[in-house]
Structure 1
Amino acid sequence: MNPTVTKLPSADALLARIPLIGRMLAAMLLLCGGLLALVESRAAILRSGTEVRLRTVPVDPRDLFRGDYVVLAYPMSIVAAAPGEAKGLRRGDTVYVTLARDAEGFSQAKAVAAARPAPGEGEVVIAGRVLSTGACALNEAGQADCGAGAGRLRVAYGLESYFVPQGEGRRIETVSKARIEVVAAVAPDGTAAIKRLLIDGKLVYAEPPY
């Protein structure tokens, strides 16, 4: 005599029992929840992250302004890794760059590592993603100088574009990048977000907390 086997309904069958309006509402709630989580994550960085002042450097004018966002680059976009640290790093890898303030209060790249180091006094560790491993150094004008070779890392930090109100990008597009200063907030895990944008030390845009 064969034992009775209870057949459980499939996931599709269970889903079909839920009214269409219920499924639509559930999908909308999930989507809104995901968006709110992203917004809150960024807002938390802006609220409680450690502030760092960053210089910007010139970028290709053809890439300077796209739509309603400004393309930015920084001296710390190119970092020199110690021989032991550079070995094995590939494009797309996560790295951690230690920032230290210079005499003017701007943060400069001091070191880069594949694992997050403990920051020293006055230092901040920011997380980045390797774009290439064969970059040249930048000179004082922000231009590539390959005289010392091309073994540096090009790193992106998620601070390379900044959205501005529609139609107001022209004032930034025509300004020398050497005059632009960015104040970013860096969370304890190294993720960062632009908090303020200044030109000649004067506030141009400030990111709202939400």
Structure 2
Amino acid sequence: MSGFGQFLRRGFSPVLAAIVCGVVLVGTLGFMIHSRAAILRDGSEIILRTAPVDPRDLMRGDYVRLRYGDISSVDGALLAGSWPKEDILVPLWLTLVPGDDGTARVKAVSLEKPDGGNPDAVYLKSKPVMLYGEDHPRTGQVPLRLKFGIERYYVPEGEGLEIEKARNAGRTTVAIRVSRDGEPQIARLMIDGQTLYEEPLY
């Protein structure tokens, strides 16, 4: 039997297996960090106004829950094209444009990424949401409750309560950066227009 065959027969040693797992883990973590940094560095920026969250839903640990008044709840009537014939779980694409106050508003909603053409627009992809088929009694029900993976922001311990108070008073805005693939990252958290926290690239 060849040396390679004997190696395969013996299998990986525990030490070699640990090294391989470590390399894969480090590589995966490095890719995630680089992807996040790339969005923060190169993504298109838009400002979102936060909305109050049920005061009974208290802060857990060292993060603040965020809800966005303009994009977390969207009118199903804005969905472009025909409503799906069958129930489907799909992400939705939001076309966002700056409003008169500088914060984002939803101009359109679609199942596919828009072709673009509006230099002022940012195209944001939601997490998958259930759309009921055209014969379902809930078809077209409004509003559509959407999430984007930016509903939680970690802060230094003990500082979350004041931020939550400002959020519920309508004083908090968040700057997000969005990649070409529609993936968002929180870049800055602001109160009364002043930056409170800014995310580093790394």
Shorter-chain TM range is 0.7 to 0.9
**1:188 to 2:180 alignment:** yes
**1:56 to 2:50 alignment:** yes
Contact 1:64–1:72, Cα closer than 8 Å, also in 2: no
Amino acid at match of 1:197: L
| Residues 198 and 91 of structure 1: CA distance in aligned 2, closer, same or farther (over 3 Å) | farther
Compute the RMSD of aligned alpha carbons. 2.7
Question: What is the identity percentage for the equivalent residue pairs of Structure 1 and Structure 2?
Answer: 37
2:135 corresponds to which residue? Answer: none
Spell out, residue by residue over 1:140-184, the C-alpha distance to the aligned partner (whole angstroms, 9 max, x if none): xxxxxxxxx943311111111111123321221332431000000
1:124 corresponds to which residue? Answer: 122
1:168-207 to 2 correspondence within 5 Å? 168-177=159-168, 178-207=170-199
Q: Equivalent of 1:157, from 143, 148, 153?
A: 148
| Residues 48 and 91 of structure 1: CA distance in aligned 2, closer, same or farther (over 3 Å) | same
| TM-score between the two structures when normalised by the length of structure 2 | 0.82
Per-residue deviation, 1:18: 3.4
| Structure 1 unaligned spans of 5+ | 1-6, 135-148
SS at match of 1:36: helix
Spell out, residue by residue over 1:25-75, the C-alpha distance to the aligned partner (whole angstroms, 9 max, x if none): 111111111111111111110011011011111111122522111111112
Equivalent pairs, count: 190
2:74 corresponds to which residue? Answer: 79
| Structure 2 unaligned spans of 5+ | 133-139
| Residues 84 and 41 of structure 1: CA distance in aligned 2, closer, same or farther (over 3 Å) | same
| TM-score between the two structures when normalised by the length of structure 1 | 0.79
**1:70 to 2:64 alignment:** yes
Contact 1:85–1:113, Cα closer than 8 Å, also in 2: no
| CA distance in 2: counterparts of 1:197 and 1:168, whole angstroms | 13
Per-residue deviation, 1:208: 1.2
SS at match of 1:46: helix
